[in-house]
Structure 1
Amino acid sequence: MAASTIAPFSRGSIENIARIIGELYTGAELTRILASVGMPDPLGEGQTKWKRLAASMQAKQYSQRDGRPTLAVITAAMKPDTIWDRQAKAAVARDELTQVLSLSGYRVREDGRIGPATKAATASEASARSERLRTHLTERGAHPEVVRYCREELLRKDCYEAVFEAVKGLGTRLREKSGLDEDGRALVQAALRGKQPRVLVTDCSTVTERNEQEGVALIAEGVFAAFRNPAAHEPRLVWEVSEQDALDVLGTLSMIHRRLDAARLGAAG
């Protein structure tokens, strides 16, 4: 994209852009990125990364009275040879940057360059996140029982509700498989653990199979302990799940669901 000048970006847009890029790089890496496009670095290394980036873009944008410096930082940060070792995180960042830039009529292309886009009146964060999570999970071969929780209404503010509901969904499936009326860790322990598990994900006839059964049970129990119980007891404002955490948790849930696909009722059932 070539233009002699473009409209300056708002302070809010610059701060959002700075937060997104700041999550991708270390302080030393940001030093190199800023230097590569001749940007000032008024705060310097050691300062909060996003504040440092925002100060740089705001200073240069003010001195030039146009928004090209901000786009230059984005382009430098999203170059293929810069993000090659963090492509999954960069793909998420590219989508998020496009959401911010769409308010000004721009987008970040696959090659990291800036291109034109239909100018958005508002950013549909939930819709974009839903599409992105579903795409990543599909690429990972996620279980359908997990993918269905990445709905826009569950992602209205962040990934909290999708993870929370997906973990609850695992509980529902365990109850259906086992016929038990328990919840959380107690459900996992009653269904998958013990000398004669009610639900068998292996035949449990050898030491290896018994260890595998126990391992799957411990993973399921850990998911409930880490994400179901805190979410059930902590106020919504102090319990958040990042997009990367959501992908990891949902991927783990997919593995458990796949094991349950082939599970059978044990003698105790």
Structure 2
Amino acid sequence: MSQLPTLSNAQIMQICKVIGDTGSGLTGSEIGGLLAELRLPDPGGSTTKWRRLDCALVQRVNATKSTNIVYSLISHCFEPARGLEQPERYRWMMSEVNRTLMLVGVEILDSGKFHLVKAATNLSEVERRTKELRNKLIGYGAHAEVLKCCRWELLTEDYYHAVHEAAKSLCERVRTMSGLSLDGTRLFEKAFSLNDPYLALNALQTESERNQQNGLKELLNGVMHLVRNPTAHELRIHWDVNEEDAVDTLNLISYLHKLLDRCVVVRWAS
């Protein structure tokens, strides 16, 4: 963690206020467990939750002259398994912590790992960057499924994970509609088969209708090859996504969701 930038006392305090938030943060017992995992001295429950965290962290920061312990706490807090029980709380905390981390050019991913982003120089830039991409997509008429599944990634302007999550939403939607448990291209090949389909874009009676069905299937497969598979398996440095690419890709995924809106269920997987 030595390559991560140093955090100021104010930034540490803000992170603690998010994680120890009364309504949406960790519980007192969860904070106690987190401090124990990191072998930090626990000031106890006689103070507010965020002050309890802040006190423990600042003691270690002062002793070591390093803010690595803060990054360790963030990484432990957002270890993926912790988000399974209350995903909305987990996502809210992650989004809010990332607003502070953006000021030093860092972001925590939903894998519990950090990556570097362009640092924001002031609060106004943080606000602009958290809204700009989402507003552009809304202006283009992005499908609700794209905005819903990407809302946290979009709020932190993480283009890489925005397009990845949006691509995953296509698989999830087809699985929900068809009852199939497959994934990726295998899912689309079976769901939109011309001979024995689970989902149909049209009546499939004419050559043109069958071509449209096949075209939808190939477009879905294309998104998997172009977007989801590279972002799932390649290091970020080898598959960077700029704002223009993100907008174009998310609009394509929105169009595919609109086509799925028109599909009917031919049969349901047992």
TM (norm. structure 1) is: 0.51
Q: Distance in 2 between matches of 1:224 and 1:145?
A: 17
Answer yes or no: is the 8 Å Cα contact 2:179–2:268 preserved in 1: no
Letter in 2 for 1:261: D
For residues 124 and 168 of structure 1, what CA distance do their matches in structure 2 show? Answer: 32
Question: Are the counterparts in 2 of residues 199 and 264 from structure 1 also a CA contact under 8 Å?
Answer: yes
Query: How do 1:99-138 and structure 2 match up within 5 A?
Result: 122=122, 127-138=127-138
Distance in 2 separating the partners of 1:127 and 1:151: 15
> d(CA) in 1 for partners of 2:126 and 2:183?
29
Q: Which residue pairs with 2:202 in the alignment?
A: 202
Separation in 1, partners of 2:172, 2:160: 19
Tell me which residue corresponds to 1:25. none
Tell me the CA shift for residue 153 of structure 1: 4.5
2:238 matched residue in structure 1: 238
Give the CA deviation at 1:157: 6.2
**Counterpart contact for 2:194–2:210, Cα < 8 Å:** no
Q: Which residue of 2 aligns with 1:191?
A: 191
1:72-99 CA distance string (max 9 Å, x none): xxxxxxxxxxxxxxxxxxxxxxxxxxxx
Q: Which runs of 5+ in 2 are unaligned?
A: 1-102, 104-119
Query: Separation in 2 of the partners of 1:124 and 1:241?
Result: 23
Partner of 2:253: 253
Q: CA deviation at 1:121?
A: 5.5
Shift of 1:128: 2.6
Partner Cα separation in structure 2 for residue 262 and residue 157 of structure 1: 30
Taking the aligned partners of 1:229 and 1:256, their CA distance within structure 2 comes to 17
Distance across 1 between alignment mates of 2:126 and 2:260 = 30
2:263 maps to 263
Which residue does 2:113 correspond to in 1?
none
- Distance between the aligned counterparts of 1:149 and 1:125, measured in 2? 24
Relative to 1, partners in 2 of residues 1:124 and 1:190: Cα closer, same or farther, differing over 3 Å? farther
Q: Deviations over 1:47-67 (max 9, x none)?
A: xxxxxxxxxxxxxxxxxxxxx
TM-score, normalised on structure 2? 0.50
2:140 maps to amino acid: R
Letter in 2 for 1:256: L
CA distance in 2, matches of 1:121, 1:225: 36
Partner of 1:172: 172
Superposition map of 1:1-269 within 5 A: 122=122, 127-153=127-153, 156=156, 158-267=158-267
Judge conservation of contact 2:150–2:162 (CA < 8 Å) in 1: yes
Distance (Å, rounded) in 2 between the aligned partners of 1:163 and 1:154: 9
Q: 1:152 to 1:122 in 2, by over 3 A?
A: farther
Q: Is the 8 A contact 2:178 2:268 kept in 1?
A: no
% identical aligned pairs: 41
Whole-Å separation in 1 of the counterparts to 2:229 and 2:206: 33
* CA gap 1:247/1:267 in 2 versus in 1, 3 angstroms: same
- Give the partner amino acid of 2:131: E
Give the greater-gyration-radius structure (CA): 1
* Aligned residue-pair number: 151
Q: Which residue is 2:68 aligned to?
A: none
